[in-house]
Amino acid sequence: MNNNLIFVACDTSNLNKIKKIINQTNTNKLKIIPKFGIQFFYSKNGRKFLEKFKKNFWLDLKINDIPQTALSAINSLKDLKKCKYITVHANGGLEMLRSIKKETKKVNKNLKVLGVTILTSLNNKSLKEMGHTKNVKELVLKQAEIIKKSGCDGIVCSAQEAQMVRRKYKNLLIITPGIRLPADSSNDQIRVMTPKDAFKNKVSGIVIGRSLTKGNIKNNIKKLIDHLNK
């Protein structure tokens, strides 16, 4: 179980809450890495906190812009020495993904680039409303092809598509958000799965937020450990 990557979503701009999440999710029974999104990164104290952070973390910015602007964004992160993972959106296209991967080698040789596919808050109806003619699975597989071709290190997709992606790309890092403990509410997520089922689908790691950070964090960690050990 220690080999399973588990990312805890630190989705708040409150620095004290961030510190509490980090401290109370610390356990030697699981490999837990904090994931910071735009809410914290854009906050007054967020950027400063990450400059001095001493452990590996994931910066979930979902960069999506023209290649040159995207490269400038990557260069602006060179002082974040412990940033181990960065997300870019597959919608930015092959050239942007390829350029970012090439640039990260200069900025931080340990930084892994993860290509984000269809957000777990979307479904087939959502895609149709946006003008897509492919369904979720078809589009995720197409985006996975672009992400792999670009040289990026991994893909972010829901656990429902992970098995399909793994069959085609044996060595790709696959990280899945939309993870909930059994009986927990799905909230604004649509394509969700439990941690144990996600790992059965051959994912490399999972992102889990409210199931850990809402309520008693230490009790939630125990629930997660028990769930994975069943």
- pLDDT reported for residue 162: 92
Residue numbers of the domain that contains 77:
5-229
How many domains, in total, are found in the chain? 1
Q: Which residues on adjacent β-strands are paired with residue 63?
A: 88
224: closest CA among 184, 191, 174? 184
Q: Is the entire prediction scored with pTM above 0.85?
A: yes
- pLDDT reported for residue 190: 67
Active-site annotation holds for 62: yes
State yes or no: pLDDT of 1 exceeds 60.
no
Q: Supply the CATH number for residue 186's domain.
A: 3.20.20.70
Q: Which residue among the candidates 62, 101, 112, 148 is catalytic per the annotation?
A: 62
What's the average model confidence in pLDDT over 100-109?
92
Pairing of strands 57-63, 205-208: unpaired
Burial 170-184 (b: 16+ CB within 10 A, else e): eebbbbbbbbbbeeb
Asked if residue 179 lies in contact with residue 142, where contact means CB atoms within 8 angstroms, the answer is no
Outline where DSSP puts E strands in 73-168: 83-89, 112-116, 154-156
User: What share of the chain has pLDDT > 70, as a percent?
Assistant: 97
- pLDDT reported for residue 183: 76
Mean pLDDT for the chain? 93
Task: Find the angle CA(95)-CA(97)-CA(101) to the nearest 5 degrees.
Answer: 115
pLDDT tens, residue by residue, 78-99: 999 999 999 999 999 999 999 9
What's the average model confidence in pLDDT over 148-155?
97
Q: Any idea which residue has 């400038």 for tokens?
A: 72
- pLDDT reported for residue 184: 78
State yes or no: pLDDT of 67 exceeds 90.
yes
- pLDDT reported for residue 2: 53
